[in-house]
Structure 1
Amino acid sequence: MALRLNDTAPDFTADSTEGEISFHDWIGDGYAILFSHPKDFTPVCTTELGMMAGMAEEFSKRNAKIIGVSVDPVEDHHKWKSDIATFTGNEVSYPMIGDPEMKVAKLYDMLPASEERTDGRTPADNATVRTVFIIGPDKKVKLSMTYPMTTGRNFDEILRALDSIQLTAKHKVATPAGWSQGGDVIITGGVSDDEARDKFGDFDQKLPYIRTTKQPS
Structure 2
Amino acid sequence: MSAGRLQLGNKAPNFKAHTTKEEIDFYTYVGENWVILFCYPDDFAPVATTELVMLAQLQEEFSKRKVKLLTMSTKNNPNQSGDYTSHEEWAKDVGEISGAPLTCPIIVDSDGKVSKLYNILDEGDVHDLNKNDDVSEGAGFKRRTVLIIGPDKKIWLNLNYPYEVGFNTAEILRTVDCLQTTTRTKTLTPANWVPGSDVLVDPKLSDEDAKAKHGDLTVLRPYVRFTKLPVEETSVRNIE
The answer, yes or no, to whether TM exceeds 0.5 is yes
- Cα separation, 1, equivalents of 2:63 and 2:13: 23
Match of 2:19 in 1: 16
Whether contact under 8 Å (1:172, 1:191) holds in the other structure is no
The partner residue of 1:119 within 134, 148, 162 is 134
Query: 1:39 & 1:88 partners in 2: Cα distance?
Result: 19
Query: What are the equivalent positions in structure 2 for 1:49-128 lying under 5 Å apart?
Result: 49-73=52-76, 76-113=86-123, 115=126, 119=134, 125-128=140-143
Distance 1:183 1:64, change over 3 A: same
Identity of aligned residues (%): 42
Aligned to 1:39: 42
Match of 1:153 in 2: 167
Contact 1:31 1:65 in 2 (8 A): yes
Contact 2:73 2:138 in 1 (8 A): no
Aligned-residue CA RMSD in angstroms?
1.8
| Structure 2, unpaired ranges of 5+ | 78-84, 234-240
Question: Secondary structure of 1:174's partner?
Answer: coil
Extract unaligned runs of 5+ from structure 1.
none
- Listed one character per residue, the Cα deviations across residues 12-59 of structure 1 (whole Å, up to 9, x for unaligned) are 011101110110100001110000111011111111111111111111
Q: Deviation above 6 Å: which 4+ runs of structure 1?
A: none
Counterpart Cα distance in 2 of 1:100 and 1:4: 25
Structure 1 residue 192 and structure 2 residue 202: aligned? Answer: no
Segment drifting more, 193-202 vs 111-120: 111-120
Shift in alpha-carbon separation, 1:22–1:120, aligned structure 2, 3 A = closer
What TM-score, normalized by structure 1, do the two folds share?
Answer: 0.93
Distance 1:165 1:183, change over 3 A: same
Deviation (angstroms), 1:92:
0.4
Contact 2:75/2:137 (CA < 8 Å) preserved in 1?
A: no
**Partner amino acid for 1:4?**
Q
Count matched residues.
Answer: 216
The match for 2:184 is 170
CA contact (8 A) 1:54 1:90 kept: yes
